[in-house]
Structure 1
Amino acid sequence: MVALREAAAWTAKTFGRIDILSANAGIQAFKPLLEMDDADWHDQIDVNLNGTCNTIRAVAPYLIQNGGGRIHVTSSTQGQHGTKYGSAY
């Protein structure tokens, strides 16, 4: 999180402001839930969920400071239905 905040601060200082954030993260281990290692589970949650949320938390204050902006969060269509071996995704 520290690196994300530093990157957001550097960007705002270097370019004068931040107007938009595109948060696009997605990895998948393609393993059945009962065969998935803890590391596989945590990697997917850390990248797909925590990475996206932490990026928004680091950048959103600069958008608010400037009176607004846009945050685009993309996801896969797998969020709308299950996929074989995609339990952590």
Structure 2
Amino acid sequence: MWDPFDEQKTPKDKFFEIVYHANKNLVIEELEKVFERMAALEVLAEKCYGDEVEMKIQEAIFNNSDEVKAAEDDLYIHTMANILTKNE
């Protein structure tokens, strides 16, 4: 049984448990929002950095790995919360 308070699991682990068990339409809706946001950020990044986008992304991951990991965890948690809220 899934326990949202299981501290042995990462936000990513919990997210995927929810994605596999929640209403498919709600999951699709939330993932579409995530991809829309990613696409918008890609457009903004390309406008700011042109052909250097991929290099800048890799630099950010390397130089700010803790911040990137925290932002990734926040995204998993936020998306998971949206799915759970709508799934009830």
TM-score, normalised to structure 1, is: 0.32
The answer to which structure has the higher strand fraction is 1
* Higher RCO (CA < 8 A, seq sep 6+): 2
TM-score, normalised to structure 2, is: 0.33
The answer to which structure has the higher helix fraction is 2
